[in-house]
Amino acid sequence: MPGIDREAVKDLGHEFSLATPETSLIVLESLEQYLQHDIAPPESLTEMRQEFFRIRAQQNDEIRKSFEERKADRIQYVEDLWSEYKEWRGKNFQIQKFLRWFQNDPEEDDEEFRAGGRRSVPEQDIAPAMAPPTADEDLAVSDEEVLEDECEEEVSEDAAPAPGMAVSENGSPADTEVSRTASVEIQPWNPDSPYLKRMAEAQDPYAVYLAQRGEFAQSPAFFLECAEFFRERKNAKLALRVLSNLA
């Protein structure tokens, strides 16, 4: 029905126990039923009505106290977080060992590695290998001759110098030193991660990192890969900032 205050009609129905479009009749017999349906007993039930309002007032006080306690707990929680944040801001963090490599130039590290692999070894003359038999030699030999040749070949192999070693004519090592450089080519790890592709294609990779940080906040690999991304682009400052999320 347009133009009718439905709330006022409902209140009148409750007050005079009338059936209206907003209310219906219900038979209640005990105080528990009145409390369950939140309906005040009629004035004819004086004692039950007084007990109803007393219990309702007590319940409202408990709800209010519980709300105040939760509010105080939330305030205390925020204060504790603020204290921890101020303590963290004032702490002097030492650079961890696994972060120090960001401070070094990768080219300098490669030069140090190559220098560490350089060593000197005595130079020795390589003994000449025996010439193979000619095609016109008689290959029809007895079993005894074959066995004898195999034994001689095994002894020759055991007595021969190791590959890369050399001996002089008198059998003593030569004094000449040979410089050898040990070099290992390590291919950089190239993870096929969708967020790294978006960062590589963006004009502002750091903005893309910030936009994706919430989604991957529980993944340590996300921060490690993003830090490596910025380090490869010679931006150690951003790399350290990203890695600080793992501290």
Would residue 239 count as lying in a domain?
Answer: yes
Would residue 3 count as lying in a domain?
Answer: no
Would residue 8 count as lying in a domain?
Answer: no
Would residue 32 count as lying in a domain?
Answer: no
Residue identified by tokens 């003994």 is 127
Number of domains in the chain: 2
Under 8 Å between Cβ of 56 and 77: no
Would residue 211 count as lying in a domain?
Answer: yes
Residues 103 and 209 in one domain: yes
Residues 106 and 192 in one domain: yes
Q: From first to last of the 247 residues of the chain, give the pLDDT tens digit.
A: 556 788 888 888 777 777 787 777 777 888 888 888 888 888 888 888 899 899 888 888 888 888 888 888 888 888 888 888 888 888 887 766 655 555 555 565 556 556 655 554 555 555 555 655 554 444 444 455 545 555 555 545 555 555 445 444 555 555 544 445 556 655 555 567 788 888 888 888 888 888 888 888 888 888 888 888 888 888 888 888 888 887 6
Task: Kindly report the pTM of this predicted structure.
Answer: 0.28
Residues 174 and 194 in one domain: no
What range does the domain containing 235 cover? Answer: 97-111+186-246
Of 105, 125, 100, which is closest to residue 232 (Cα–Cα)?
105
Residues 123 and 231 in one domain: no
